Chains A and B, each alone.
Chain A
Amino acid sequence: MKTVIVSCGTAIATSTVVANAIEEACKAEKIPVNVKQCKAAEIDAYLRDGADLIVTTSQLRSDPGIPVIKGLAFLTGIGKDAVLKEIMDILRK
């Protein structure tokens, strides 16, 4: 099962929306997924446990070494389908 880290500044608001959207989409597509929500500042600790993808609504300070997708589309709706497809493609691999 793939692990997705969803990060934002506080891990209470925007990442909640994004994590929920990814979980729903994966459920609909029957893709098993483990979604973890964290603050941008906590990403390094979460990476140590292993992850396949980061979806973030805040700017990352360093390169995490795994794919990073910006999740702003889940808030603004702009390009949402494309971003969701990009995420699903990575999780299906």
Chain B
Amino acid sequence: MRIIDFLDIEAISIHSPAKTSGEIITDLGTRLYKLGKVKDNFISATLKREADMPTGLPLGGEINAAIPHVDIEYVNHSALALATLEQPVIFRNMVDRDEKVYVRLVIMLALDQPKSQIRMLQEVTKILQNPDVVNRLILAETEDQILTILKTMDEEDLLVHKVQ
């Protein structure tokens, strides 16, 4: 299962005007709920988890990311949601909650089993580790473009594996 198999176009929010981490978590959580991927208490649980154990990730450049997620009990089916933010929103650093991280890319993970979907998770980290892909996602004007960028990344990856 590759990343785009988990990301429904309805679960993508581009150039979101959200002003806080809570707003964008609620937006993406609502999208996953409407798709039937998560339970009705997923949003409140994810907000609580973000407050207790934040998920902001400094990526070393101008654009940082956050990967909000929560325990499997709030999830029906594994899925992703993705948002790009018009203005950076403050999250807290995953390993240091005193540190603010100004986030423009949010990838929400809904996982229905522990230690599952390693491939999908590795692809999410592959996005985070590729500044070019991150930049292209931020600049994308439509949800389709987001899917195309991720699909292209998958295909390039396949090509690399074939060569190896």
Interface residues of A (CB under 8 A from B): 9-14, 16-17, 19-20, 37, 40, 56-59, 70, 72, 74-78
Within 8 A of A (CB), among B79-95: 94-95
Interface size bracket, B side: 20 to 34
Task: Enumerate chain A residues within 8 angstroms of B94, measured Cβ to Cβ.
Answer: 14, 57-59, 72, 75
Asked if B121 is at the interface (CB within 8 A of a chain A CB), the reply is yes
* CB < 8 Å neighbour of B60 from A10, A17, A20, A76: A76
Which secondary structure dominates chain B's binding surface? Answer: loop
Interface residues of B (CB under 8 A from A): 49, 52-53, 55, 57-60, 67, 69-72, 94-97, 109, 111, 113-118, 121-122, 125, 128-129
A–B Cβ pairs within 8 angstroms, 21 of them:
A9-B55, A10-B53, A11-B115, A12-B111, A13-B109, A13-B111, A17-B118, A17-B122, A20-B118, A20-B122, A37-B115, A59-B53, A59-B97, A70-B95, A72-B95, A74-B125, A75-B57, A76-B58, A76-B128, A77-B129, A78-B60
Task: Enumerate chain B residues within 8 angstroms of A78, measured Cβ to Cβ.
Answer: 58-60
* CB < 8 Å neighbour of B95 from A37, A59, A77: A59
Task: Enumerate chain A residues within 8 angstroms of B109, measured Cβ to Cβ.
Answer: 13
Task: Enumerate chain A residues within 8 angstroms of B70, measured Cβ to Cβ.
Answer: 10
B114–A12 CB distance below 8 A: yes
Task: Enumerate chain A residues within 8 angstroms of B116, measured Cβ to Cβ.
Answer: 12, 16
Task: Enumerate chain B residues within 8 angstroms of A56, measured Cβ to Cβ.
Answer: 95
Chain B residue, CB-CB nearest to A77: B129
Would you give the shortest CB distance from A18 to chain B, in whole angstroms?
10
B69–A77 CB distance below 8 A: no
Chain B residue, CB-CB nearest to A60: B95
